Amino acid sequence: MSVRMIPEQIVASTILRMNAEELRNHLEEELENNPALDLRETVSDVATPFTSPFPTTPVLDTASRWGGRAPDDEESDFAADLPAHETLRDHLWRQFVIVSMPEERAIGRYLIECIDDNGYLSVPLLEVADELGKSLDAVEAVLHIIQALDPPGVGARDLRECLLLQLRAGNWVEDQAATLAGEILERGWDLLIRQDFEAMSRHLGYSEQSIQEGYAFIRRRLVPYPGQGTRAPWEMNTQEAPLIPDVCVRRTSAGYRVEVTDIGLQASSLCINREYQNICRAMQRGKGTFSEDERSHVLEALDRARFLLKGLARRARTLQRVTEYVIAQQRAFVDGDARALRPLTRRDVALQMGLSESTVCRATIGKCVELPSGSIVPFEVFFDVAGAIKRRIEALLHSEDPAAPLRDDDIADRLRTDGINIARRTVSKYREELGIPSYAERRRAYRASR
């Protein structure tokens, strides 16, 4: 059975997905374009006589009031006074309808709605399948169509996939650097993150100079945020704006306190315009003469304002709860031990908190946390499961007894005692990706050094 999100849910999901900077811009646009929304300090305590806010010219139709697009478009663009500009989602949808089949359009529209301004898919495919009542295979097939659209790299679920999509989309015939870049992204990702080119050279079997050439290709020819190329000129800055954390973790005598960042335009400072409330009451009581267009305008403006306020409150609650849970699980890391990150997935958080995985994804993807130390880190660091396990493996091997080196089976057993269920072959894979020699090679090296 297909499940359709109602407008209030769409607004709440969209707001939850926004980071602090995106939310601030969105609220500024809403205040400017929705007359039913007001800043609390601008609302007078003195009742004013009724005057109609309606223009003398006919009221615009629904699509125009909601951003000038077709009525079935769920994504609103309220910057009506700015020059016309095609957004990333517009750009994707225009291409998608050309290359897709009619039965794929509902899935495609939903997925495109879930692509953030940087070009990344912000929800798990399984959640999309559940919400739409479609099979996972059908959703994956549509995502592959979207990932083949312009700009290259769009629709990726993480940075590695984003870079690989760009690499596969390019015409790099007989380009050795591109081939090396592909090898690095496919087989040496974790070593690339650490920029351990010496270990990567050993692991991939290329000279260190060749590895550097592949790395330079990635830096020069591929981009981390494919969606930014579709931003309007007025959205571009010559200087990178300072990073605004979405939540701050403060150390107190009682432990840690989580605070959702106050961007200056939170639900507490916004309210429904009193004049529009009075008009709505007058319409409900049958007082005054209102055309159908006027009634529609008032009700839609009020609904939009109410949905926004509810969405803001829900975003704050969800961010607060999710962050508190994550910080409780990763307390040693927050205390300053970078090696103490525990393997944690968004699915784990969702199951423990009774939330959907898509909600946890929207609440964390693209957002940052300010730690008590003052450093600002992306939420992603808390969910780097492979990285956390690799750090455990690395720590175990660095402290092993040279007289009795650890086999991969031994490492797997020790990790299991810490609650990390992992197969021996996975330990071997992670060890190799770390550039650490095998048990036999380490034993020979230890004996040779005696």
Residue identified by tokens 């849910």 is 9
151-155, 318-322, 325-329, 371-375, range with the lowest pLDDT:
371-375
Mean pLDDT for 147-169 is 89
pLDDT, residue 320, reads 93
Mean pLDDT for 265-276 is 76
Could you tell me if residue 280 is inside a domain? no
CA distance 179 to 183: 6
CA distance 2 to 295: 32
Which of 229, 249, 266 is a domain's end point? Answer: 229
27, pLDDT greater than 80: yes
Mean pLDDT for 403-418 is 90
Q: Percentage of the chain with pLDDT > 90?
A: 15
152-156, 202-206, 262-266, 313-317, range with the lowest pLDDT:
262-266
Give 58 or 310, the one with higher predicted confidence.
310
52, pLDDT greater than 80: no
51-55, 133-137, 432-436, range with the lowest pLDDT:
51-55
Q: How sure is the predictor about 267, in pLDDT bands with cuts at 50, 70 and 90?
A: low
pLDDT, residue 55, reads 35
CA distance 165 to 147: 7
Could you tell me if residue 66 is inside a domain? no
CA distance 322 to 320: 6
Q: How sure is the predictor about 48, in pLDDT bands with cuts at 50, 70 and 90?
A: very low
At residue 48, φ and ψ (nearest 5 deg) are -110, 150
pLDDT, residue 86, reads 66
157, pLDDT greater than 50: yes
The model's pLDDT over 124-141, given as tens digits with 9 standing for 90+, comes to: 888 888 888 889 989 999
The model's pLDDT over 33-43, given as tens digits with 9 standing for 90+, comes to: 889 888 876 43
Give 77 or 263, the one with higher predicted confidence.
263
CA distance 164 to 175: 15
**How, if at all, do strands 247-252 and 255-260 pair?**
antiparallel
Could you tell me if residue 208 is inside a domain? yes
pLDDT, residue 288, reads 67
Could you tell me if residue 318 is inside a domain? no
pLDDT, residue 6, reads 66
Mean pLDDT for 113-132 is 85
Whole-number mean pLDDT of the chain? 79
Q: How sure is the predictor about 384, in pLDDT bands with cuts at 50, 70 and 90?
A: confident
Mean pLDDT for 410-427 is 86
Give 183 or 1, the one with higher predicted confidence.
183
pLDDT, residue 265, reads 54
230, pLDDT greater than 60: no
65, pLDDT greater than 60: no
Could you tell me if residue 434 is inside a domain? yes
pTM over 0.85: no
CA distance 319 to 267: 14
- The CATH number of the domain holding residue 397 is 1.10.10.60
Determine the structural domain holding residue 181 and report its residue range: 164-229
Which of 202, 229, 256 is a domain's end point? Answer: 229
327, pLDDT greater than 80: yes
Give 242 or 412, the one with higher predicted confidence.
412
285, pLDDT greater than 50: yes
225, pLDDT greater than 80: yes
Domain total for the chain? 2
195, pLDDT greater than 50: yes
206, pLDDT greater than 70: yes
Which of 229, 247, 264 is a domain's end point? Answer: 229
pLDDT, residue 165, reads 92
Q: Percentage of the chain with pLDDT > 70?
A: 82
Name the token pair of 359: 């909600």
CA distance 132 to 129: 5
